[in-house]
Structure 1
Amino acid sequence: MTTPRLYWLVAIGLVVLGAVAGAAAVGEVRGRGATIGDIAEVSGPISVDAQTLYRALADADATAATGFLAADGESAELRGRYLDDIAKATAALTVALRDADDADADRLRVVADQLPVYTGLIETARSNQRLGVPLGGAYLREASGLMQQTILPAAAAVFDRTNRLLTVEHRAASAVPWAALLLTLLTGAALVAAQVLLSRRSRRTFNRGLLAASLVTVLALLWSGLALHASGRHLDTGEQDGAELVRLLANAGRASLQARANESLTLVARGGGTGFEATFAAQMDELIGRNGRSGLFARAIVQAPFTDRQLIDEARDEAVRWRELHVQVRSADDGGDWDRAVELATEPGENGLTAVFGRLDAALSRALDIGNDRVERQAARAGGSLTGLTAGLVLLTGGLVAGVVFGFRPRIGEYR
């Protein structure tokens, strides 16, 4: 093979390889940008909507059950909280149904179909309670059973799925771009080999065009590597300290709210609430373990960044205090003093069970807000890390091609 023909083949090969590497890099960056945009604008908000639905439903059930323990009827505060929860759940359900895929839509339709049944049972229970009819408690138990056995599991499945999909997108957008990386390294190696070939055949140590193309390749590799690394770090933070932590905290919130509902239902049953009490005990074990230092709260504390741990630790301490106060409630109820048990369960003082649960719920809500905000903020930072990279890679690819052309053109011209 003649030298000019060899030069032509090498030059064409370098141009094609450089263009393919550049196209792969640009495609990778654009794909990641689209995934990050989806996290910020679609998956993240959908996960928050599912979380809002999940929490509002659980809180509505706990609030309705607690309202039945008041000797003089449900307070305006509890009634307002219940109605607010139902309104939040309805709004979140509407948005979730609009954005859901087929799998989630089926679960959400279960919620949509059964929620009016639940609220109807609650209103019937309230009417009977106001009239002093004992059937009120039976309707309340039926409503809570519908909520805990049908509605909440469907909402929880939607939340778990959307949260896990969010995690999958975080990982996909922060994975190592092996194809683009290998093509870029191969291009760099090919440029070095071409310079060695020219040096031996032309007796010139350096080729300015190929040297410029090599520098362009190094610049593209460094820029894209640093930008993708920074983007990946933000996404990893959003996943570990955001999405995964939110899942733990949301489940802790669900367990605490259902435990509160079952605690109240045990008293509403007036001696017939053994099943509710057993469920309460299981949910408290899920929250803090039998020793008060394990369960969901312990896992969340390990998962959470240092700045969040105080809030979660506060919630756990309140849960431990709650279980201690619950022992007093059960002691009074099991001893035949139902009125005293109800008084302890609804005591409004700062050290009372109502205030303890309120502080637990407030700390959890705050921690959830921080986690959700972290997902959104880190996604925005990840997207910002890639700003200008697509246009830069296009220009650098053009520079590489130009360097190859200008490097080989004079050498080929020497043989004319």
Structure 2
Amino acid sequence: MARTEQATAVPPPSVDAEPARKHLGAARSSAMREHLDPANLRSFAQSSPGRLIAIGLVLIGLCLGSGVVAAATVSDRQRALDILLNDTEPDAQSAQRLYTNLSIADAAASTAFISGGLEPEAVRNRYSQALGEASAELVPQSGHVSASAADPDTRLRTGIATGLPVYSGLIETARANNRNGYPVGAAYLSEASNQMQTTMLPMAQELQDHRSGAVDAAQRHHVRPPWPAIVLLILALAFLVWAQLELAKRWHRVVNPGLLLASGAMLILLAWTVIAGSISAVSMISGRDGAAVPASRLTESRILTQQARSAETLKLVRRDATGDYDRTYDYSIARLTELLEGYPSHAPANAEVTNARAALSRWRSAHERMNETLAHGDFNGAATVATGPGTADAAAQVDALDTSLGQALSETRNTLRDKISQGARVLDFLAPGALVLGILAAGWVGLGIWPRLREYR
């Protein structure tokens, strides 16, 4: 049996449908304009639900903002400590070694010259090693700074690097003439030493001052309290307390668990920030006063040792009768004595400094014997006292003094780096903790406000 399918015809849209849709859209637009009317918005804002929403949004913003700012501040401080530990402090140490090795090389060159002919191998090696280490210190430092020619440290390094070949060339010329017995060798040595003392060492000292100043600036910056984070946390706490009082007065709720938990989180974060920041700052202050400041005294002492030694030996090389080298020696020794006698008793490396004082006293005695021998016209005897291998001679005491100062510098540097590391470790968990506490506080604010809002449904 054939089955006939009947098509169902869809009736055409009514003529009145289009106007109805337009009417509905106009009604919705009118309702939206009514809701967005400034008068209605002001009325809603002044209503209890509006005040609750405003309070909740402000509290959530303050809690989140406090956590983010505290975390960012702590992260910046830890990053600065990492830069100080891995870049700034090693750069300052490198500048100090450069300055010291240049001074050692100059003193060793004049010491070797006194012996005449072929200088002792130990003294020659000391000169070569010091000059090589000074040259090597110019290489790693250049990686820490901009290569711009306008950078003052780049200019200083370039000046020292340019002067080193000239200085070593003068020294080699002086040695060649000295081995052949030509008196002009003393003039070349004097010119080389003059270049070192008046050009290269002042540049090395300026470079060291710049790099040490960078360390001091980083330490000063770290000990300043993180005021933005602290102020924002106090503001968040104050607003949370005010909000709870407002809820108790207007909605008759004595305790709001959500806001109470949020207040606890902000209080914990504030205490954590202040306590951890204070411990870190105290560690940095301890490192600065107990290690960085003594290290600067030791560095100056080591430089003065080499300057006094250069003056002592150049007096013999030049057979000086003007007293210029004596005045340089006396000034350097007087300042060196002042630094060692005034070394803080609480600072590290006191045992090494005590050994340095004893070596300095023995050196002064040897220097007096040298001057007495020279006053009797015995130049060879004076040269023996100045450069001889005897334990009571000046050379042995200078070596003992320099060794003690070098060991003291190593100990103070280790102390400084330990304090910097300790200051960074104290802040290890504070940044992520601040973010977590800020987010938790914001969530608890929402949980505390939401039940009150539901009452107006």
Shorter-chain TM band: over 0.9
TM (norm. structure 1) is 0.94
When the two chains are superposed, the root-mean-square deviation of aligned CA atoms in Å is: 1.5
5 Å-filtered alignment, 1:160-239, equals 160-239=209-288
CA deviation digits over 1:298-330, x for unaligned, max 9? Answer: 34x12x634422211321232233223212211
* Equivalent in 208, 211, 221 of residue 159 of structure 1: 208
TM (norm. structure 2) is 0.86
Residue 155 of structure 2 is aligned to residue 106 of structure 1 = yes
8 Å CA contact 1:57–1:85 kept in 2: the answer is: yes
Look up the match of 1:82: 127
CA change 1:71–1:120 in 2 (3 A) is: closer
Q: Which runs of 5+ in 2 are unaligned?
A: 1-45
1:23 Cα offset (Å) = 2.1
1:52 Cα offset (Å) = 1.2
Task: Select between 24-33 and 218-227 the one with higher mean Cα deviation.
Answer: 218-227
The one-letter code matched in structure 2 to 1:123 is: E
Task: Select between 314-323 and 36-45 the one with higher mean Cα deviation.
Answer: 314-323
Distance 1:382 1:306 in 2: 19
1:72 Cα offset (Å) = 5.5
* Equivalent in 130, 141, 149 of residue 96 of structure 1: 141
Q: Equivalent residue of 1:68, what SS?
A: helix
CA change 1:270–1:348 in 2 (3 A) is: same
Look up the match of 1:342: 383
The one-letter code matched in structure 2 to 1:75 is: P
8 Å CA contact 2:312–2:329 kept in 1: the answer is: yes
Distance 2:357 2:242 in 1: 63
5 Å-filtered alignment, 1:9-408, equals 9-71=54-116, 73-101=118-146, 102-272=151-321, 274-288=323-337, 295-299=338-342, 301-302=343-344, 305-408=346-449
Distance 1:179 1:324 in 2: 60
The one-letter code matched in structure 2 to 1:83 is: S
Distance 1:60 1:266 in 2: 17
8 Å CA contact 2:348–2:412 kept in 1: the answer is: no
1:352 Cα offset (Å) = 2.2
8 Å CA contact 1:167–1:244 kept in 2: the answer is: no
8 Å CA contact 1:163–1:243 kept in 2: the answer is: no
8 Å CA contact 1:44–1:375 kept in 2: the answer is: no
Distance 2:216 2:416 in 1: 10
Distance 1:222 1:305 in 2: 31
Distance 1:6 1:271 in 2: 92
Distance 1:74 1:59 in 2: 16
CA deviation digits over 1:278-313, x for unaligned, max 9? Answer: 11111111111xxxxxx22234x12x6344222113
8 Å CA contact 1:267–1:273 kept in 2: the answer is: no
The one-letter code matched in structure 1 to 2:92 is: S
Q: Equivalent residue of 2:114, what SS?
A: coil
1:71 Cα offset (Å) = 4.8
Task: Select between 405-414 and 325-334 the one with higher mean Cα deviation.
Answer: 325-334
The one-letter code matched in structure 1 to 2:52 is: Y
8 Å CA contact 1:234–1:379 kept in 2: the answer is: yes
CA deviation digits over 1:177-207, x for unaligned, max 9? Answer: 1121111111111111111111122222110
8 Å CA contact 2:284–2:423 kept in 1: the answer is: yes
1:258 Cα offset (Å) = 0.9
Distance 1:71 1:124 in 2: 14
Look up the match of 1:292: none
Distance 2:363 2:315 in 1: 16
The one-letter code matched in structure 2 to 1:296 is: L
1:222 Cα offset (Å) = 2.1
8 Å CA contact 2:390–2:396 kept in 1: the answer is: yes
CA deviation digits over 1:324-348, x for unaligned, max 9? Answer: 3212211221332222211211232
**How much identity, in percent, do the aligned residues show?**
31
8 Å CA contact 2:359–2:401 kept in 1: the answer is: yes
8 Å CA contact 2:117–2:179 kept in 1: the answer is: no
The one-letter code matched in structure 2 to 1:45 is: P
Q: Equivalent residue of 2:118, what SS?
A: coil
